[in-house]
Each structure stands twice: as structure tokens, then as C-alpha cells.
Amino acid sequence: MPKLFSNSNKKFLLQIDKPEKELNKFICENWKDLFPKYIFIASEFPLKGNVRSLGSNGRIDILGYNPETKKFIIFELKKDYDKNITDQSADYRDYVQDNFSDVYLYATQRYEVSLPKFTTINQDKIEIILIAKKFSLTQIDRVKKIKDNNITLIKYFWFENDLIFIDYINNDPDDIKIENTNTKKINEIKNIIAQDPEMFEIEQFFGKYIAGKEIFLLFLKFLKIKGGVELDFKQTKIGVKIANTTFSIIRQGGQGRRKSILQINTDIDVTSLSNEIQIDDRVRSDDQKKKGSLGLERYEIFFRNSEEIHFFSDFIKDKI
């Protein structure tokens, strides 16, 4: 039996029995906090016609919509344990599927809820959330064996001071967030392992400077067509050697007056390209000494896009 201790009152708080309507009211009033990702449609949503297997009409305790899965959500609430809760919700689910257009029109017109276009909503599957004080082991086992995992079980306990304890038996959204995050990290690690050491070093060097990395890879592909390429990875640059020619690669963030995403230093005379690409001559005119410390090469070239790297590659293709 769950117990809740109040440090301010220095006692265990008593559990309180409240009617199902109170539970419904509490959920509706705190919807954005309890179910922030779902759209609230209506409480006591009416269903007319052959709804229940043992009756004619019925009402869904709460009807909602999940924008992520594009499915309607049926909330069935029970004050305590109810052996028929899964069967009842299954009847409601079948009704919504069989009368989908009527439910959609009633939700959008009667309750004026903004939903996506009728044709974009998933009509084949309806999500179900069952909330009760207790579920039998049989109910829990059956739900967990469902392949599409469209039914969520939530236990609640109401205590004095209007405190409610919520326990997800399955499909806890926080667990899903952790699982998705871990899966993403595992996939990133697998991608790194699958890479050759050279590509791994390139990824590490550029980090968040993705645009610069992409045009560097274009330049590297061009060089490898010309012959064998040696790369020397440093913290601030990548040294590139092909035949008797060297380049220094410096990452840029696209900021400042140049807006460049990659810098390449070279000893190949590129002054004739100054009208097409941003170029600096690192040799000072007064004493003929090189300024700066990144690389040994004379000319600094600042690239803003892939067109400029293709232009530069075409210019030096006969100079290597």
C-alpha cells in the first residue's frame, strides 16, 4: 500500500476516496501539466448508437488527440479496480474507428477543437489510457503483450491536502525520453566506430562547424583524385600534403566581416583570383616577413560556399 509522508505535517497523509467525477475534473483542470503533449477535446464525449456490447449509447470519459502519432486518445477512468475497464475501452475504440468521420466532425464543430485535416489522422489505431487505483496482474500482463503498445495503464492514489500520486505501469513518457536519448547516443557511437580513423579525426576537428567540414570534404575528394594525400591533425588546423604542395586548413564559423566557413592557406599564387574569392597575402610588404602563425603557406583564402571551393580546385588542378 503506497504511503505519502508529509515533512511539514510530520505524518503520513491519509488516502481519500473521491468519486470518479472528481478524478475527471482534476485531470481536465490540470491537463497541460499532466498531459502536455496531448490536445484536450472533451470530457464526457457522447457516443450515439450501438456503442457498448451490452447497451446502446455511451460516453468517453475524456477524449484527446496525440499530434505526434496522429491518433485519437480514449481516457477511461475508474475510482477503483474494475475488471471490465479494458473491455469497455475496447468498445469505445471500436466505435470511434467505425464512426471516425462522425467523431471528427463532432470534435471540430461541437467542441471547436483545431485538429489536422481529416485525411491526415490515423484512423486505423486509437490510443487508450486507463486510469484506476488498481489493475489485476492479468490486465497488466495482457496490456504489456500488445505489440503496438497502444494502451497505457496509470495507477493513481489520492491523499489528503489534495495531493495525487501518479504511477505509470507502462509507456511512461519520461522513460521513453531516456530511451530515445540513449538510442541516439548509441547510434552516434556506432557511426563513429564505423568510420575510418581519418574521417573520425575530421569529425572531431570540425565539431559544430558542419558547413566548413562539408566543403573541406569536397576539397579533399578533389585532392585524392590527383594523388596520395597526407593529413596531419592539430588542435587549430589540419595540415595537408600532396606531392610537393602543402595546405593548412583552418575552421571558420561564418562570422565577422568575411562570413567565411573555411580558410585554406597555400603557397600557390592565387592573387589572380582576388576578384572571385577573398584572399590575403600573409607576406608583409615592408620587410617581406609572413604575418600570423597558422601554417607556413603564404596566401590565406576564405571560402563562403561550395561554389568557391570548386572554383579554387579548378584553378589549382594543373599546379599540383
The DSSP secondary structure of 94-119, one letter per residue, reads HHHHHTHHHHHHIIIIIS------GG
> What cell does 299 get?
596566401
Alpha-carbon distance of 35 to 12, in angstroms, equals 28
Q: Report whether 297 contacts 267 (CB < 8 A).
A: yes
Residue spans of the domains in the chain: they are 4-179, 194-316
Which residues in the chain come in under a pLDDT of 70?
1, 50, 52-56, 175-195, 285-295
User: For 129-180, what is each residue's pLDDT tens digit?
Assistant: 999 999 998 899 888 888 777 899 999 999 988 889 999 999 887 765 555 5
Task: Output the pLDDT for position 277.
Answer: 93
pTM score, whole prediction: 0.56
pLDDT of residue 192: 52
38: CB partners within 8 A, 6+ apart: 31, 64, 65, 66, 67, 73
What is the residue-wise DSSP string for the chain? ---EEETTTTEEEPB----HHHHHHHHHHTHHHHSTTSEEEEEEEEE-SS-STT-S-EEEEEEEEETTTTEEEEEEE-SS--TTHHHHHHHHHHHHHHTHHHHHHIIIIIS------GGGS--S--EEEEEES---HHHHHHHHH-TT--EEEEEEEEEGGGEEEEEESS--HHHHHHHHHHHHHHHHHHHHHHS-HHHHHHHHHHTT-HHHHHHHHHHHHHHHHHS--EEEE-SS-EEEEETTEEEEEEE--S-TTT--SEEEEESS--GGGTTTSEEEE-B-TTT-PBPSSS-S-SEEEEE-SHHHHHHHHHHHTTT-
Q: Which residues are 58's β-sheet partners? A: 47
316: which residues sit within 8 A by CB, 6+ positions away?
266, 268, 270
* Structure confidence by residue, pLDDT tens digits, 55-71: 557 899 999 999 999 99
Provide the pLDDT for residue 23.
94
- Whether the CB-CB separation of 145 and 153 falls below 8 Å is answered with no
- 162 dihedral zone (left: phi>0; alpha: psi -120 to 50; beta): left
Residue type, 210: I
* Closest of 198, 305, 310 to residue 262, by C-alpha: 305
Domain at 4-179, CATH from 3.40.50.300, 3.40.50.80, 1.10.10.10, 3.40.1350.10: 3.40.1350.10
Residue 262's pLDDT is what? Answer: 95
Q: Would you say 268 and 312 are in contact if contact means Cβ atoms under 8 Å apart? A: no
